[in-house]
Amino acid sequence: MRQRQYEALRAFYMDQLPSAEVARRFGYSPGSFRLLCHTFRRGDLPEFFATARPGRREQPKKSRAHDEIIALRKRNYSVYEISQALKEQGTPLSATAVREVLAAEGFAPLPRRLDEERPARIGPQVQAVANVNDFVLTPREFTTRMGGLFLFIPDLVQLESEALAQAAKLPGSRMIPPAHALRASLALKLWAIERKSHIMALVADEGLALFCGLNAMPKKSFLSEYSSRITPQKVAQLLARWHAQVSADLFTGASLNLDFHSVPYFGEHPLVESHYLAKRSRRQPSILVFLAQDADSQVFCYANADLRKGEEADEIFRFIGFWKRQHGEAPQHLVFDSKLTTYAGLDRLDAAGITFLTLRRRSPALLAEIASLPPSAWRTVELDVPHRKYRNPRFYEQKARPLQRIYRQFFITDLGHDEPTILLTNDAHTTAKSLITRYARRMLIENALADAVRFFHIDALSSSVGFKVDFDMALLVLASGLYRLMARRMRGYNDAQARQIFRDLIDMPADVTIDEDEIRVRFHRSIGLAKSLVLGQSRAVEIRASAVVGVGWLAAAGTTKAQSCCCTRAVCCKIWSSSRASTCS
């Protein structure tokens, strides 16, 4: 703009060009150019050739901090430490600005220093390495945010976690024996830790380490490497030993719910196949898992993630073989959906004398047959399922031969689905009402799967603590069983899901006191937890883990004091340091 004004005025005054010609040549209107000339003659335009006067450029922040920066560098502070010190003094300056000041004064960059050569400041600390040989029960007191884990100790004593790890032949080392590694992995499930990043925030918790029987919680690198050493055969042995320990308390086997679940995988691996994910309504890379749930106790009793495409239909028979080896007989009753096996598989089940109840796929021919039925062919039944919205479905019963054998087939409407439900069973004696009610209760496994996804994080496959899926599912079976055993001892929690038990009873800090003769755990809770632990009695209750080793969980109902617990030093030898019992002497 200034250059154009200069050239236009020069052409008018020096070259004597007409005003209209100059205005046209330089893009002015005649009126605006005359105004420009008037302003120039009055001297109101700035000088065209003014010379700027160079002067000192002020940098107030650097100037104020200059002397302090030099003083700190002479004390061997790095640019980042100087920047942090200036920020604490109220004169913040970036590390780049500090570096410029030091460079202007001729200071060279500091050489790399050892930690002990740096100024004493608050920073990250190196945590101890997990080592059972460094685990000692010296008298001390500390507070743990994971105090609720100690409520599982009576069951761990009774179920002999040491023998569980030995029977499964789980891997271990001199620093972290098999049973300690198993408890460390199980603690993540019991505390509902989403393994993506949260585990590293808890490695310094003394209570978590005490629960595992170690001086420190193993880091994520060990947990990931440990699970990769556990083969599917070891997982099967672990589940077999678990059945031998808890079958009398948890697994009735009267009726079992079976289902598949896809664990999503968000990486790239050539061996990971794509399966259908119901919650995303699409196929994507995932790990297919077979799960079995005891219908009476609502506890997972079996899991297998060692599956490939084409093996789904035979997995039910592998489960039956597993059940026979553990219980001496085949399951009495199986309930599953249409995708679990084929019609040939149903004939094999019927030939083996195993009662089943399953869905049949809605083919166009079956839907047309249902639509052609007259209203008089339908019967109405009332389901004895509390809190269910659709309790009066209509059904039609007939015989059907899907492949070779003849079964009972039910067309059911008004059961809460847009399309009719088609049930198929080889149960020739149970009434239609009981069969429909039983299938309606199968939704419990869907609720249990949703609870496992949300609470036990079985979908956390892609994470920084990468457990193998089959071992992760075995931990799901163990954790769900431990939560159910605890729920049975707690008044009012018989049918509660794991996340409710965790929220009300487990998720609480505690003060731990280790004395010469006992370990006391005092929870930071009021009368609500105390009343639950009393198990409906008005006096303190002691639960004995075995004839020799006792664990007493005392509750004081009627007071507002926190719940307290005592366990003897012998228990510590039994659970935490069986290989070094001398630490408890």
The amino acid occupying position 544 is: R
Of 6-15, 156-165, 172-181, 560-569, the range with the lowest mean pLDDT is 560-569
Q: How confident is the model at residue 316 (pLDDT cuts 50, 70, 90)?
A: very high
Instruction: Please state the pTM of the whole predicted model.
Output: 0.72
pLDDT at residue 581 is higher than 50 = no
Reported confidence tier of residue 465, pLDDT bands at 50, 70, 90: low
Angle between helices 60-74 and 95-104 (to 10 degrees): 70
CA diameter of the chain: 122
Nearest to 256 by CA among 345, 356, 166, 341: 356
Continuous segment of H or E residues that includes residue 38: helix 30-42
Structure tokens at 450: 């949703």
- Mean pLDDT, all residues of the chain: 80
Number of Cβ within a 10 Å radius of residue 425 = 21
Separation of CA 143 from chain center: 24
**Looking at residue 188, what is its pLDDT?**
82
Which of these, 577, 581, 519, lies nearest to 214 by C-alpha position?
A: 577
Paired sense of beta strands 518-523 and 551-554, if any: unpaired
Tokens of 361: 């796929």
Task: Give CA–CA dist 132/212, Å, rounded.
Answer: 10
Q: Two tokens at 579?
A: 């290989």
Report DSSP letters for 477-539, one per residue.
Answer: HHHHHHHHHHHHHSTT-TT--HHHHIIIIIS--EEEEE-SSEEEEEES--HHHHHHHTTT-SS
Residue 464 confidence (pLDDT) above 70: no
For the chain, domain boundaries: 2-42, 60-117, 506-584
pLDDT score of 358: 93
pLDDT score at 203: 78
Per-residue pLDDT reduced to its tens digit, 59-69:
888 888 999 99
Decide: residue 41, CB within 10 A, 0-12 exposed, 13-18 middle, 19+ buried. Answer: exposed
Which range has the top average pLDDT, 75-89, 114-128, 514-528?
75-89
Is 547 a residue whose pLDDT tops 70? no
What radius of gyration, in Å, describes the C-alpha atoms of the chain? 37
With a cut of 90, say whether residue 71 has pLDDT above it. Answer: yes
Q: Which of 321, 289, 338 is nearest to 477 (CA)?
A: 289
Tens digits of per-residue pLDDT, 413-453?
Answer: 988 888 899 999 999 999 999 999 888 877 666 777 777 77
Mean pLDDT for 221-236 is: 87
**570 pLDDT above the threshold of 50:** no
Residues 581, 215: Cα–Cα separation, whole Å: 15
Q: Where are the beta strands (DSSP E) in 265-403?
A: 274-277, 282-294, 299-304, 333-336, 355-359, 379-380, 394-400
3-state secondary structure of 86: helix
Query: In the structure encoding, which two tokens stand for residue 290, read together?
Result: 């077979």
pLDDT at 94: 92
